Amino acid sequence: MTINFDHNATTPIAPEVAAAMTPFLLEHFGNPSSTHAAGVYAHSAIEMAREQISVLLGCDQEEVLFTSGGSESNNAVLKGLLLVPGKVRPHVILSTVEHPSVTVPCHFLERNGVQVSQVRVDRDGRVDPDDVRREIRPETRLISIMHSNNEVGTLQPIDEIAVIAKEAGVLMHTDAAQSAGKVEVNTDNIDFLTIAGHKLHGPKGVGALIVRNGVQFEPLIHGAAHESGRRAGTENVASNVGLGIACRLATKRLPSCGVGVVRDYFWTRLREVFDDRVTRNGSEQHCLPNTLNVSFHRQEGHDLLARLKGVYASCGAACHASTKELSPVLHAMGRTRAENVSAIRFSLGCDATINQCEQVVEKLVATMETTQLTAYM
């Protein structure tokens, strides 16, 4: 039996989500823009999904903009606000641990005249809000700091940063793709917020961007006036419905999911068994309840994972796990090359058990005992 400790990469689609999507794949084929009965039915289903998302995130229903996923949502904000003609070069503030769907578009924007500043993080991967305050300039247009880090799980002080942004008259964006459905997400003082369906037991290829009422930006995709003129393209009805159901399930699940207890037990067992041969990466106090990033001293993470049969986990982010490049996140957190190359991310689901943790520990012990250690330290 495979143990899936890789939920930050993607989550299995919930049966309720698949069941809700199926009729819109097989029966209810209407275009939501059509005025006949089939179109009206599809439109109503999308609006129901929009409401379900708004309940989870504490925003207004009309503030929910459907996208193809987290990457599109992030690109839409950055390019829609910053890629604008004018004499004044707009300025954006990021952290050094942002997801590539933020950093790569910003590299593109920088080549097109946008000013980009990156604030450092501490050894836990957290931003100091005062550092953000100090980076604000008259031409600062946007602050984009992720809600939680996908690799180490560290939660950022978004509420404090959002207040700083509001006081300065600067728009605030946060990528909450890893947070939504795992912890409460407060949208107060947030102008843009990103979520992704497949991170909370919804389908892949769908996400949402929360756009605060009254905030204007240039659409990333131009065409007809879908999504209140903010994103052109015939709506992906089935996936939108699936995302709505996933958010409804997350709203019910959040108060009762005990994954944090299981994660803490797992970390305790790793320390008991491996003692000073393991180091935790990320904040213990400010962290997603399901995420544990650990460096196994004198091991090569990719090789260790390859030998760890029957366990799903990751080295760094899944979007670049096929390479053996050092993690920019761990580098930004001040980790040594040895700590970086030996890191493995375990990300548990709400169905994770103590017994599964024990099995993974046993597999790790057996794997290390039968393998020549790599002398990185």
pLDDT 10s digits, 133-181: 999 999 999 999 999 999 999 999 999 999 999 999 999 999 999 999 9
Secondary structure (DSSP) of 277-295: GEEEES-SSSB-TTEEEEE
The sheet that has 64-67: what strands, in order across it?
64-67, 207-211, 192-196, 171-175, 140-144, 91-95, 115-119
Residue 49's nearest CA partner among 243, 203, 204 is 243
Name which residue leads in pLDDT, 322 or 326. Answer: 326
196: left (phi over 0), alpha (psi -120 to 50) or beta: beta
Q: Decide: 24 and 18 in contact? Cβ < 8 Å.
A: no
Torsion angle of C-alpha atoms 185, 191, 197, 200, degrees rounded to 10: -10
Residues 377, 297: Cα–Cα separation, whole Å = 7
pLDDT, tens digit (0-9, with 9 covering 90-100), for 38-72: 999 999 999 999 999 999 999 999 999 999 999 99
pLDDT, tens digit (0-9, with 9 covering 90-100), for 190-212: 999 999 999 999 999 999 999 99
* Three-state secondary structure call for residue 224: coil
Q: Which residues contact 74 (CB under 8 A, 6 or more apart)?
A: 99, 101, 102, 105, 144, 173, 175, 194
H-helix or E-strand containing 38? helix 37-57
Going along the chain from its start, the domains and CATH numbers come out as: 3-10+256-369 (3.90.1150.10), 15-253 (3.40.640.10)
Residue 281's identity, in one-letter code, is N
Token pair in block for residue 286:
């400010």
Distance of CA 171 to the CA centre of its chain: 20
Per-residue pLDDT averaged across 83-112, rounded? Answer: 94
The total number of residues shown for the chain amounts to 377
How many angstroms separate the Cα of 320 from the Cα of each of 43, 149, 273?
37, 15, 30
Residues 213, 228: Cα–Cα separation, whole Å = 12
Catalytic site residues? Answer: 319
CB atoms within 10 A of CB 175: 28
Distance of CA 300 to the CA centre of its chain: 26
pLDDT at 319 (0 to 100): 46
Sign for the pseudo-dihedral over CA of 295, 301, 305, 307: negative
pLDDT, tens digit (0-9, with 9 covering 90-100), for 263-311: 999 999 999 999 999 999 999 999 999 999 999 999 999 999 999 999 9
Per-residue pLDDT averaged across 83-104, rounded? Answer: 93
Stated pTM of the model: 0.94
Name which residue leads in pLDDT, 326 or 142. Answer: 142
Distance of CA 119 to the CA centre of its chain: 19
Q: Is 39 exposed, middle or buried (0-12, 13-18, 19+ CB in 10 A)?
A: middle
Crossing angle of helices 237-253 and 37-57, rounded to 10°:
30
